[in-house]
Amino acid sequence: MTQRGMTGWHPEQDLTALLDGLSEELLAARDHDLATWVREAGEPVEDIAEPMRRLLAAADAGGIPPHMSMDLKAGVRASIARNQ
Amino acid sequence: MMDLSALEQPVAADAASSAAAVSRALAALSDLDLLRLRALARLRARGLPPGIDWSDLLNEALARALDGARQWPQGVPFLVFLAGVMRSISHEVWQRRRREADLIAFGNNAEADARDAICPAADQERVLGASEAVAAIYRLFANDPMALHIISGLANGQSAEDIRILHGLSEVEYNSARRRMRRALLRAGLREHTP
């Protein structure tokens, strides 16, 4: 955690730094290790990957409406779609 | 990860060609990369406002990459690019939340330069959410003191080498703790409900 007194603690900054570091760890993990850990967890890789593949395919087909809180670019997106 | 030559955007691209390259890269992701992407989305969704989950975050990142609103830079591995898009979206969600809280509190005066008060609601919500998310991540590694040292160092923005030296860890100990950490992260990313 940030090395300040509790009154100066900014957990949102800590969380951002932590998530950045942990994301790098996930990106750096080797395929061989990932496969081993998934096997240890007792789930076939394909069973977890298949729903993800469907989700990506639906996104690629434009079949998933954006979440209300995230649709920050809706106007831009609609404009691009109209002009394609 | 998939072969780097396939993963990286080979040339600088405009919005349309970036979008096409993203579409091709998505179709080419291996099963293991899909798992990695899911774990990345679940991780980055920690601390987001209630009601927004990892699949919302991932969907929005994909939508922006696929319509060219976010372009895949040359030389950047595909999953690194998507992880970066999710990072910036999570930041934007809180910015938007703050603007909405300002509008509710101040109405049409929300943008006025002369306003001398700041509505704290969205910030308090973010601080609370971040506190809980940080605590949940620490709990993931509660039984692994070495991993906790690394987590703590990462939260402080320290480099791997700084963390290793600060806690007197040998390279073997450090790398072993990182592997345990990655395994715990992946497993948390595979669960239906995030602890």
Residue B126 belongs to a domain = no
Q: Per the structure, how many domains does chain B have?
A: 2
Say whether A52 and B35 touch across the interface (CB within 8 A): yes
- What is the DSSP code (8-state) at residue B74? B
**Residue B98: how many CA atoms within 13 Å on its side-chain side?**
14
Say whether A27 and B40 touch across the interface (CB within 8 A): yes
Are residue B51 and residue B108 in the same domain, yes or no?
Answer: yes
Residue B12 belongs to a domain = yes
Q: B165 Cβ partners below 8 Å, 6+ apart?
A: none
| B5 confidence band (pLDDT: 50, 70, 90) | very low
Say whether A27 and B96 touch across the interface (CB within 8 A): no
Are residue B150 and residue B64 in the same domain, yes or no?
Answer: no
pLDDT exceeds 80 at position B121: no
Mean pLDDT of B169-186: 91
pTM, to two decimals: 0.82
Whole-angstrom distance, CA of residue A25 vs CA of residue B39: 11
Residue B150 belongs to a domain = yes
Q: Which two tokens stand for residue B17?
A: 């060609």
- What is the DSSP code (8-state) at residue B144? -
Q: Which two tokens stand for residue B19?
A: 């979008």
CB contacts < 8 A, A to B, total 179
Residue that is last in its domain, among B57, B88, B119: B119
Whole-angstrom distance, CA of residue B20 vs CA of residue B3: 19
- What is the DSSP code (8-state) at residue B8? B
CA B28 to chain centre: 22
> For A4-52, what is each residue's pLDDT tens digit?
555 678 889 989 999 999 999 999 999 999 999 988 888 888 988 999 9
Whole-angstrom distance, CA of residue B163 vs CA of residue B152: 9
What does each C-alpha distance from B26 to A54, A64, B186 come to in angstroms?
A: 11, 16, 20
Residues of A in contact with B69 (CB under 8 A): 73, 76-77, 80
Say whether B155 and A45 touch across the interface (CB within 8 A): no
Whole-number percent of chain A with pLDDT over 90: 35
Residue B129 belongs to a domain = no
Task: Give the best residue of A2, A20, A26 to mutate against chain B (max B CB count within 10 A).
Answer: A26
Our CA dihedral for B143, B160, A34, B56, rounded to 10 degrees, sits at 90
Are residue B26 and residue B69 in the same domain, yes or no?
Answer: yes
Report the largest interatomic distance among the alpha carbons of chain A, rounded to a whole angstrom.
54
Residue B130 belongs to a domain = no
Residue B134 belongs to a domain = no
Please identify which residue in the block is written with the tokens 């008060």: B117
CA B53 to chain centre: 12
Residue B136 belongs to a domain = no
Are residue B71 and residue B112 in the same domain, yes or no?
Answer: yes
Whole-angstrom distance, CA of residue A17 vs CA of residue A2: 10
Angle subtended at Cα B3 by Cα B17 and Cα A42, rounded to the nearest 5 degrees: 115
> For B54-102, what is each residue's pLDDT tens digit?
999 999 999 999 989 999 998 999 999 999 999 999 999 988 887 777 7
Could you tell me if B136 and B195 are in contact, meaning their C-beta atoms sit under 8 angstroms apart?
Answer: yes
pLDDT at A74: 47
Could you tell me if A1 and B134 are in contact, meaning their C-beta atoms sit under 8 angstroms apart?
Answer: yes
Q: A12 Cβ partners below 8 Å, 6+ apart?
A: B47, B94, B126, B127, B130
